Amino acid sequence: MSESRYIGEYPAIGIRPIIDGRRGKLHVRESLEGQTFGMAKAAKQLFEENICYSNGDPVKVVIADTCIGGVAEAAQCEAKFKKEGVAITLSVTPCWCYGSETMDMDPLTIKAVWGLNATERPGAVYLASVLATYSQKGLPAFGIYGRDVQDADDPTIPADVQEKLLRFARAAVAVATMRGKSYLQIGSVTMGIGGSIISPEFIEEYLGMRMESVDEVEIIRRMTQGIYDHDEYEKAYAWTKQYCKEGFDKNPDFIRKTPKQKEEDWKFTVKMLVIIMDLLDGNPNLPEGCEEEACGHNAIAGGFQGQRQWTDFYPNCDYPEALLNTSFDWTGAREPYVFATENDTLNGLGMLFMKLLTGRAQMFADVRTYWSSASVKRVTGYDLEGHAKESDGFIHLINSGACCLDACGEVKDADGNGVMKPWWKMTNDDIEKCLESTTWCPADTGYFRGGGFSGRFLTRAEMPATMIRLNRVKGLGPVLQICEGWTIALPDEVSDILWKRTDYTWPCTWFTPRCNGKEGPFKDAYTVMNNWGANHGAISYGHIGADLITMASMLRIPVCMHNVPEGDIFRPSAWNAFGSDKEGQDYRACKAFGPLYKTIR
Residue 342 annotated in active site = yes
Residue 268 has what DSSP assignment?
H
d(CA 515, CA 525): 7
Task: Note whether 271 and 223 are within 8 A (CB).
Answer: yes
What's the distance, CA 575 to chain centroid?
A: 24
CA distance from start to end of the chain: 41
Q: Is 43 exposed, middle or buried (0-12, 13-18, 19+ CB in 10 A)?
A: buried
Sign of the CA dihedral with 241 first, then 247, 251, and 253 last: positive
β-bridge pairing 245-246 and 439-442? parallel
Active-site option among 20, 278, 281, 366: 366
Cα–Cα distance between 200 and 183 in angstroms, integer? 9
Q: Shortest CA distance to 143 belongs to which of 183, 177, 114?
A: 114
Pick from 369, 394, 373, 370: which is nearest to 382 by CA? Answer: 373
Interhelix angle 259-281/217-224, rounded to 10 degrees, is: 110
Radius of gyration from C-alpha coordinates of the chain: 25
Nearest to 265 by CA among 218, 222, 316, 217: 316
Beta pairing, strands 463-473 & 508-513:
unpaired
Side chain identity at 103, as an amino acid letter? M
Nearest to 351 by CA among 335, 343, 340, 366: 340
Tell me how far apart the alpha carbons of residues 234 and 224 are, in angstroms, rounded to a whole number. Answer: 16
Pairwise CA distance, residues 583 & 335, whole Å: 35
**Pair 359, 52: CB distance under 8 Å:** yes
Rounded Cα–Cα distance for residues 272 and 187 (Å): 14
Q: In what order do the strands lie in the sheet with 439-442?
A: 245-246, 439-442, 453-456
Neighbouring residues of 283: CB distance < 8 A, sequence distance ≥ 6: 229, 232, 277, 294, 296
Q: For residue 464, how many C-alpha atoms fall within 13 Å in the half-sphere facing its CB?
A: 6
* From 78, 278, 342, 547, active-site residue: 342
Q: Is 253 a catalytic residue?
A: no
Q: Please answer whether residues 535 and 343 qualify as being in contact, where contact means their C-beta atoms are separated by less than 8 angstroms.
A: no
- Tell me the sheet residues that pair with 485: 465, 513
Give CA–CA dist 316/308, Å, rounded.
10
* DSSP at 146: -
Active site residues: 342, 366
